Structure 1
Amino acid sequence: MSFPADFDLAGTVARLFIHPVKSCAGIEVQQALLTDTGLEWDRAWMVVDAQGAFLTQRALPRMALVRPQMTAADLVLHAPGQAPLKVPLAATGLTAAVRVWNDTVAAWDMGDAAAQWFSGFLGQPCRLVRFDPAQRRLSSLEWTGGAEAPNQFADGFPLLVASTAGLDALNAQLAAAGQGAVGMERFRPNLVLGGVEAHDEDRVDLLHIDTGAGGAVQLQPVKPCVRCPIPDIDPASAERGTQVGDALRRYRQDARMGGAITFGMNAIVRRGAGQVLCVGQPLGAHYRFG
């Protein structure tokens, strides 16, 4: 397939990330299977407290130091001072009711060994759970325009889209303030656009990606991503700072979100579930108000 010549912008898939365990470190990949709920294995597992409520770096920055590895058979988790934890990809387990934001869903408990591993590292009782694919957790219909877009344990939408140029613009702000550059991993995107202007993801309608599989993937950016303190957590040390939030406040207060700072766009899958996204694939889009 070739893209129409009249797209307002053309770029490429610059980077792809999955985050198998919600709020733990991500994995940069060269390709990923696209599903209705986002990239395969993204936010498929989650850490919960003794009451079944989800845990994140917002309260437990040490979660940034839990680094996942995917093998053919296992999710392998690494953390400082801990022996690696293997979680079989085929594991199901007993069903538990867990909460992520305002949603309560049934999930599979990954067992006592995983619970002890996380409890020891995070310093409080907690358990590892996996999303049960039989469950249906929908994105906000208000933001999707009524389209039913399922997701797993992501905050609210199947995908997060950012741009290389958007990160470059932030790092220019940081440099002007005498601060060091930061990496894209702080923003936890799934898809990073290359060859486009800074924050073009804010302005486009459907993103068309040519997978070479006989038809384009179509992703719909639907909601600006309001930023919490997580981008100010150093993923290498789990230390908190303020420089990223301070820089974003200087130029990324978003009237669409009541003046909150935003970076990246939440997106839903309109077409192409079952196709494989790869770094380097061409993409195109029309501006929403072009």
Structure 2
Amino acid sequence: MATVVDLITYPVKGCAGTSLDAAFLTPAGLAYDRAFMVVGVDGVFRTQRRDPRLALVRPTVSADGSRLTLEPVGPVGLGGPAEVPGAVHVDVTTSAPRRDVELFGVTYQGIDQGDGAARWLTEFLGAPSRLVRVPPEHDRKTDGLTPGTSGYADSSAVHLLSRASLAQLDARMAERGAPPLAMDRFRPNLVIDSGPRGGSGEDWASAPHAEDRIRRMTIGAAGLGYTKLAARCAVTLVDQEAGARGGPEPLRTLARYRRFSAGGVVFGAKFSVTRPGKLSVGDEVVVEEWGDAET
């Protein structure tokens, strides 16, 4: 059997994540996950690919979604502690005028969250920035084997990764003299691991990349359907605690054994939400349908 060992939400796309004990899984993913996005003056989304300091912004959303707090974490000063802005509190609006925003070349709508958030992010990132929220009428369609929806996520609503997959990657990097990496390099929403030994269920989660073959599963009260493998990019090169790009790992090692036939490297799997519901750390992952791993 397998269980959920971590639930992580990322309220602002590209910013730091927060681990939760329990969360409600909406049709668009964990509640408020990637519901906000930082954009430039041109409306194009900011990403750790170009702005790694996003990793040092910790967003927190109130339970009712009416207030967002942004605060700095880690060694965040551009030139020293005096340059670090304190936390900013944003009264979230869903009634302000919409504006065009761009995510991977596709135009969506965003609700600007005001000058206070814009000033804070501009100072922190050192580049003119605005904060937008997904409108209530947002009706994005995501692709993959099980179509679904999401907020401002790269693609599907939920990214799942197993500890066994990371352990294998760490072992392969160790063979090359590279240190192990933290799970946050890959920014998953759900982290799974083998459950308690001695049960009647199959210990499938101890096998690296078993998540690649899951097609339908239930966790807690929620249901999820497989969409596609998670293609990895330069964000994995960013040290999430330092907010700065490191060396060539993990992409160098992944390219040796996780190269996808369609191009690039893959690590982890993406899922759509087929049934909203509550899920918690410790919930069993019940696989209802398996498939062949994509290559």
Structure-2 separation of matches of 1:289 and 1:167: 20
Cα-to-partner distance string for 1:82-120 (whole Å, 9 max, x where unaligned) = 110112346643321111123322211000111111111
How far apart are 1:13 and its partner, in Å? 1.1
RMSD: 1.7
Structure-1 separation of matches of 2:267 and 2:156: 15
Partner of residue 229 from structure 1, selected from 222, 231, 234: 234
- For the pair 1:280 / 2:282, whether they are aligned, the reply is yes
Contact 2:142–2:155 at 8 Å: present in 1 too?
A: yes
Contact 1:48–1:98 at 8 Å: present in 2 too?
A: yes
Partner of residue 261 from structure 1, selected from 244, 262, 265: 265
Contact 2:185–2:237 at 8 Å: present in 1 too?
A: yes
1:57-136 to 2 correspondences below 5 Å:
57-72=48-63, 74-79=67-72, 80=76, 81-89=84-92, 92-136=95-139
Contact 2:94–2:135 at 8 Å: present in 1 too?
A: no
Structure-2 separation of matches of 1:239 and 1:112: 27
1:13-52 to 2 correspondences below 5 Å:
13-52=4-43
Contact 1:14–1:164 at 8 Å: present in 2 too?
A: no
Stretches of 4+ aligned residues off by more than 4 angstroms: 89-92
Structure-1 separation of matches of 2:5 and 2:140: 29
Count, aligned residues? 268
Counterpart in 2 of 1:204? 214
Cα-to-partner distance string for 1:24-47 (whole Å, 9 max, x where unaligned) = 111111111110001001000000
Query: Percentage identity across aligned positions?
Result: 36
Return the letter of the residue paired with 1:201: E
Partner of residue 270 from structure 1, selected from 264, 269, 274: 274
Query: Mean Cα displacement is larger for which, 27-36 or 78-87?
Result: 78-87
Contact 1:92–1:109 at 8 Å: present in 2 too?
A: no
Counterpart in 1 of 2:197? none
Structure-1 separation of matches of 2:292 and 2:265: 22
Structure-1 separation of matches of 2:169 and 2:278: 30
Structure-2 separation of matches of 1:89 and 1:183: 32
Contact 1:201–1:221 at 8 Å: present in 2 too?
A: no
TM-score, length-normalised on structure 2?
0.86
Structure-1 separation of matches of 2:223 and 2:158: 12
1:147-166 to 2 correspondences below 5 Å:
147=147, 149-166=148-165
Counterpart in 1 of 2:172? 173
Q: Report the 3-state secondary structure (helix = DSSP H, G, I; strand = E; otherwise coil) of the residue aligned with 1:248.
A: helix
Structure-2 separation of matches of 1:82 and 1:249: 39
Return the letter of the residue paired with 2:228: K
Return the letter of the residue paired with 2:191: V
Partner of residue 138 from structure 1, selected from 136, 141, 147: 141
How far apart are 1:174 and its partner, in Å? 2.0
Structure-1 separation of matches of 2:170 and 2:96: 44
How far apart are 1:165 and its partner, in Å? 0.7
Query: Mean Cα displacement is larger for which, 83-92 or 150-159?
Result: 83-92
Structure-2 separation of matches of 1:270 and 1:71: 26
How far apart are 1:19 and its partner, in Å? 0.4
Return the letter of the residue paired with 2:68: L
TM-score, length-normalised on structure 1?
0.87
Cα-to-partner distance string for 1:27-77 (whole Å, 9 max, x where unaligned) = 111111110001001000000111111110001111111122344453211
Contact 2:161–2:211 at 8 Å: present in 1 too?
A: yes
Structure-2 separation of matches of 1:107 and 1:283: 34
How far apart are 1:262 and its partner, in Å? 0.5
How far apart are 1:283 and its partner, in Å? 1.4
Structure-1 separation of matches of 2:91 and 2:280: 25
Structure-2 separation of matches of 1:18 and 1:70: 10
Structure-2 separation of matches of 1:94 and 1:83: 28
